[in-house]
Amino acid sequence: MSISHWLTRIGGGNLIKKIICSSLTLSHYQATASSSFPFLIRRNEHKAIFAFCSSTNVAFFGARRYNSTKTEGQLLSESDDEDGSTLEEKQGFDFPGGKIAYTTKLNFLPASSEKRVQCYRVLDEDGYTILSNMSELVSKELALKVYSGMVTLNTMDKFLYEAQRQGRLSFYLTTYGEEAINLGSAAALSSDDIVLGQYREAGILLWRGFTVQDFANQCFGNNDGHGKGRQMPVHYGSKSLNFVTISSPLTTQLPQAVGMAYSLKMDKKDSCVVAFFGDGSASEGDFHAGLNFAAVMDAPVVFICRNNGWAISTPVTQQFRSDGIVVKGQAYGIPSIRVDGNDALAVYDVVRSAREMAINEQRPILIEAMTYRVSHHSTSDDSTKYRSVEEIEHWKTLHSPITRLRKWIGRNGWWSNKDESKLHGEATTQVKVAIDEAEKKKMPPLRDMFTDVYDELPLNLMEQETMLRETIQKHPKDFPNNMPL
């Protein structure tokens, strides 16, 4: 029985019907789309529902959702036409938390639905649009900016990775294969949206104006780098760009994102928080804490999972038995969607919609972006120990998000081979210069070791700084000579 059919039978009004539909929006039409042109149909549905959401008073909307639709939505799935129960039995008993219908059928919910949740996609592998109106949605200017960002990110990765191999950097980690998630989502957000990354999201910062020089400075830990040389390379952050500094312990950013989103909500801001995490990180307790808090607090936060198939050497088959991450949203009451993470336009489209929903409806959204970690986990890893070179090559060549977008912009007549070589040339020069510069720059002063532990230096640190300076004077050879004292 469909939602609307059921609502009509129990006498639910049109308004409630729409509310239910919209509260189920993303996951609902993922599951039901089956026509041969699913994207077109789903898109229109989406737009219609969306228009309704945006024009609805948020406070009113929130209240109605709690009083009726959430429990009734759940009731629906339990009730059964053919079991001969009365309407009263169907409406069920008022358990704390809402009415639950009774059934005489001993049915376990299946471990997963028969079909895997589909993956929203706009461009096919050859860069042909499946949706006809894509060039209306994405302007030439936007597309080229996204594309240039992807190429620049890729170039930066290439040279900084190489710098690590040469022993100039202590560590590095690339975003190979995940450029579309990076730039596609960055383009869909407003610069007021606060981003909390995991570590493979440098493209967001790049989009927001973190320069290649800024990246190189952080990696070399020099005095111009954000972070004062305290963290390992790739632990970027920028207050002015609303990008919270990366922390190595995984998934800690998820509950934090909810707290930040709640603050935006209380301040009635027209922006949201976006938190990125990996398929592996979704196994941490903080993932569950984060999603549940977000749902309960009605926090405007968009969770974006980069499902790249691997967590270091652990494949997703050993990470979870669910249909990926996307299905976990529903259990927490969070609208969720799966997107082709190697399709920059699809990522853009989904994140843009999710952002609007998060802000207009004041609620969390979960996105699972399907992709592949083309690189080794990091410079500390050799992934050929646990996966085949063929598998890597397959994704690198056949599913390259960069190639796919390149084909599309080329086909639109927006990009020529000349543009391509110019972009590559410029990016290469820019990155090489930045690395050389970063290497030459002054290191942070010794003082920076002691500051920022607290807002001001406590006594123990003052003493320790004094003692350390005495030691340095006595044994200057014990310490690096490139650090300003």
Partner 1 sequence: MATNLRKFNRFGSILTNHSNSLRRFSSPAASSGVLASADGQLLQSSKSINLYTAINQALHIALDSDPRSYIFGEDVGFGGVFRCTTGLADQFGKHRVFNTPLCEQGIVGFAIGLAAMGNRAIAEIQFADYIFPAFDQIVNEAAKFRYRSGNEFNCGGLTIRAPYGAVGHGALYHSQSPEAFFCHVPGLKVVIPRSPKEAKGLLLASIRDPNPVVFFEPKGLYRLAVEEVPEGDYTLPLSEAEVIREGSDITLVGWGAQLTTMEQACVDAEKEGISCELIDLKTLLPWDKETVEASVRKTGRLLISHEAPVTGGFGAEISASIVERCFLRLEAPVARVCGLDTPFPHVFEPFYMPTKNKILDAIKETVNF
Ligand X SMILES: Cc1ncc(C[n+]2csc(CCOP(=O)(O)OP(=O)(O)O)c2C)c(N)n1
Least distance in angstroms from the C-beta of 131 to Mg ion: 28
The answer to whether residue 377 is catalytic is yes
Q: Per rule CB under 5 A, is residue 279 in the interface with Mg ion?
A: yes
* Min separation Cβ 83 and ligand X, Å: 43
Is 162 considered catalytic here?
yes
- Cβ of residue 173: shortest distance to ligand X, in angstroms? 8
Of 61-69, 89-97, 117-125, 276-284: span binding partner 1 (CB under 8 A): 276-284
User: CB under 5 to 8 A by kind: which of Mg ion, ligand X, partner 1, none does 232 bind?
Assistant: partner 1
What does the per-residue mask of binding to partner 1 show for 380-419, with x meaning CB under 8 A? xx---xx---------------------------------
Distances 30 to 38, 71, 452 between C-alpha atoms, Å:
9, 21, 47
CB-wise, 42 or 373, nearer to ligand X? 373
Quick one: 92 or 329, whose CB is closer to ligand X? 329
Measured CA to CA in angstroms, residue 245 lies from 232, 300, 441, 448 at distances of 12, 20, 22, 17
Nearest alpha-carbon partner for 405 in 120, 137, 151: 151
Minimum Å gap between C-beta 29 and ligand X is 27
**Does the annotation mark 463 as catalytic?**
no
351's CB contacts (< 8 A; 6+ apart) are 184, 185, 188, 189, 274, 302, 304, 367
Catalytic residue among 78, 125, 162, 439: 162
Give the range of 87-95, 280-288, 317-325, 358-366 binding Mg ion by CB under 5 A.
280-288
Residue 170 binding target from Mg ion, partner 1, ligand X, none, CB below 5 to 8 Å by type: partner 1
DSSP 50-111: HHHHHHS-HHHHHHHIIIIIHHHHHHHHH--GGG---HHHHH-EEETTEEE---SS--PPPS
If 0-12 CB within 10 Å is exposed, 13-18 middle and 19+ buried, where does residue 78 land?
middle
Determine phi and psi for 100, rounding to 5 degrees. Answer: -130, 130
Give yes or no for residue 230 binding partner 1 (CB under 8 A).
yes
What does 200 interact with, of ligand X, partner 1, Mg ion, none (CB < 5 to 8 A by kind)?
ligand X
Site residue total, Mg ion (CB under 5 A): 5
User: Strands 194-196, 93-95: parallel, antiparallel or unpaired by DSSP?
Assistant: unpaired
Residue 99 CA: distances (Å) to CA of 90, 92, 216, 452: 9, 6, 57, 52
Q: CB of residue 373 vs Mg ion: minimum separation in angstroms?
A: 6
Contact with partner 1 (CB under 8 A) among 217, 271, 319, 360: 319
Q: Which of 68, 79, 182, 308 binds Mg ion (CB under 5 A)?
A: 308
Exposure string (b/e) for 233-254, b if CB count within 10 Å is 16 or more? bbbbbbeebbbbbbbeebbbbb
Q: Which is nearer to ligand X, 279 or 349 (CB)?
A: 279
The one-letter amino acid code at 221 reads: G
Catalytic-residue membership of 248: yes
Q: Which is the catalytic residue, given 28, 226, 376, 377?
A: 377
Active site residues: 162, 248, 377-378
